[in-house]
Amino acid sequence: MSTPIYNFSAGPATLPEDVLKQAQAELLDYQGTGFSVMTMSHRSDLFMDIMQRAENSLRQLMNIPNNYKVLFLQGGASAQFNMLSLNLAQGFKTINSVVTGNWSLMANNEMGKLVDAKIHVAAHAGELYNYNNLPSPSAWQLDESAAYTHYTSNETVHGLQYQALPTAALTNTPLVCDMSSDIISRPVNVNDFGVIYAGAQKNIGPAGTTIVIIREDLLERSSPLVPSVWNYKSHVDKEGMYNTPATYPVYIAGLVFDWLIQQGGVSAIEAKNNEKAAQLYAYIDSSDGYYKNTIDAAVRSKMNVIFHTASAERDAQFAKEADQAGLKLLKGYKSMGGMRASIYNAMPLAGVEALIKFMDEFKARNA
């Protein structure tokens, strides 16, 4: 056996080892059926059961009320930027957009395409705080006649996260949240949202499927003129089988959900996530400025911890030596530089402890 590695990739990201082992054991023969999940018809009872159980497990984990539909779509979170506006913004003049980092900015720049509604920027963390802080929801300048209010709960690239999410009482407009990188990392009240969506490859499973949790009444906004494959209603009407879902990623997502239920669910994993993030930030803050994270402590991400040293050369050396020590993919996002440690649900505390130990040794060697 080779020494274990810890994979700090932002996504596709590390998965629970138990899940990968189960997938390996079932790869050629799923539960005595003689089939691999990869080669099952998506309309077979076998696969429909896998998908239904994945949905049920997610419903259990997130306590999703019955008036919300759950879809496993394709196209990633990025496809949702447009699918949301195509389906929800017809007949509206504006869409509220909260810009807090790379991903919400991407959504901001996409959501106005092919719809009449104009983007209304309700708050912009770049302009206000140079992405070192987040505008509190009470300070969002919302247009109350907008189709919906879009925000991102955790900015995967910039390392910012809303620790308290706005409630439905904030606005008459439905809250639409990109939770790609912190879904099922902590409890949320689904009733506060019109739509929650998340690409699977951060905290749920492999790349290829995107979870959409949508309040039923919003489906009435989908015009039949929206092409069917981009229309929420066609997917709901066909119970997720409008076209072929990403069957294998859905299966793995289901295994991850069941793993999380066994871990005690989202409250239990939240406690672990809090502990991992607390240890890593405490170390960074106690490094006498050798490692820096300039984000306001109240909005630091518990999923994506960014930090840098005094120079880009030192950062590159850090990432290279960390890689050799088995601490993988710590290099920051291309436009950001520095380092990023993604410590999603599947990252054990031991991985964070190994990283801190390495950071301290690196600092001693290169002070």
Ligand X SMILES: *Cc1c(COP(=O)(O)O)cnc(C)c1O
Question: Considering beta carbons, is residue 248 or 318 the nearer one to ligand X?
Answer: 248
Q: C-alpha angle with apex 177: 153 to 173, nearest 5 degrees?
A: 125
Which residues are annotated as catalytic?
103, 178, 202
Quick check: 174 binds ligand X (CB under 6 A)?
Answer: no
CB atoms within 10 A of CB 27: 12
Establish if 14 lies at the interface with ligand X (CB under 6 A).
Answer: no
Select from 60-68, 139-147, 177-185, 285-293 the region that touches ligand X (CB under 6 A): 177-185
Instruction: State which residue, 339 or 354, has the beta carbon closest to ligand X.
Output: 339
Which residue, judged by CB position, is nearest to ligand X in the bound state?
76
Q: For the CA atoms of 66, 72, 78, 82, what is the dihedral angle to 10 degrees?
A: -60
Stretch that binds ligand X, among 45-53, 175-183, 233-241, 255-263 (CB under 6 A): 175-183
Beta carbons within 8 Å of 273's beta carbon, 6+ residues apart:
185, 186, 302, 303, 343, 345
Among 14, 87, 156, 161, binds ligand X (CB under 6 A): 156
Give, in order, the Cα–Cα distances in Å from 143 to each of 52, 155, 169, 171: 38, 23, 14, 9
Among 16, 76, 112, 166, binds ligand X (CB under 6 A): 76
Q: Please identify which residue in 152, 185, 231, 309 interacts with ligand X, judged by CB under 6 A.
A: 152
Q: Which of 163, 167, 130 is nearest to 149 (CA)?
A: 167
Q: If binding is defined by CB under 6 A, does position 78 make contact with ligand X?
A: yes
Helical H runs in 6-44? 17-26
Residues between 272 and 331 with contacts to ligand X, criterion CB under 6 A: none
Give the torsion sign (CA, 16, 49, 247, 265). negative
Q: Pick the piece of the chain touching ligand X (CB under 6 A) from 160-168, 176-184, 185-193, 254-262.
A: 176-184
199 binds ligand X (CB under 6 A): yes
Q: Give the span between the Cα atoms of 365 and 362, in whole angstroms.
A: 5
Rule CB under 6 A: is residue 100 a binding residue for ligand X?
no
Question: Using alpha carbons only, what angle is made at residue 20 by residues 16 and 24, rounded to the nearest 5 degrees?
Answer: 165
Q: State in angstroms the smallest separation of the CB of 99 from ligand X.
A: 13
Determine the interface stretch with ligand X among 49-57, 75-83, 89-97, 126-134 (rule: CB under 6 A). Answer: 75-83
Q: Which of 57, 181, 293, 345 binds ligand X (CB under 6 A)?
A: 181
Question: Treating both helix axes as pointing N-terminal to C-terminal, what angle do 45-62 and 265-285 enclose, rounded to 10 degrees?
Answer: 60
Pairing state between β 6-7 and 154-155 = unpaired
- Which part of the chain contacts ligand X (CB under 6 A), choosing from 51-59, 66-74, 128-136, 174-182? 174-182
Give how many residues touch ligand X by CB under 6 A.
12
Does 97 engage in binding with ligand X (CB under 6 A)?
Answer: no
Interface with ligand X includes 254 (CB under 6 A)? no
Tokens matching residue 60: 């259990």
Q: Is 84 in the site for ligand X (CB under 6 A)?
A: no
Backbone φ and ψ of 290, nearest 5°: -65, -45
332 contacts ligand X (rule: CB under 6 A): no
**Which residues pair with residue 154 across a beta bridge?**
161
Find the length of the chain. 367
**Is 205 a residue that touches ligand X (CB under 6 A)?**
no
178 binds ligand X (CB under 6 A): yes
Q: Is residue 180 close enough to count as binding ligand X by CB under 6 A?
A: yes
Contact 7, 322 (CB under 8 A): no
Q: Using an 8 Å Cβ cutoff, are 82 and 112 in contact?
A: no
Kindly tell me which residue out of 202, 233, 272, 302 binds ligand X, with binding defined by CB under 6 A.
202
Phi-psi region for residue 272, left (φ > 0), alpha (ψ -120 to 50) or beta?
A: alpha
Is residue 124 a contact residue for ligand X (CB under 6 A)?
Answer: no
Contacting positions for ligand X (CB under 6 A): 11, 76-78, 103, 152, 156, 178, 180-181, 199, 202
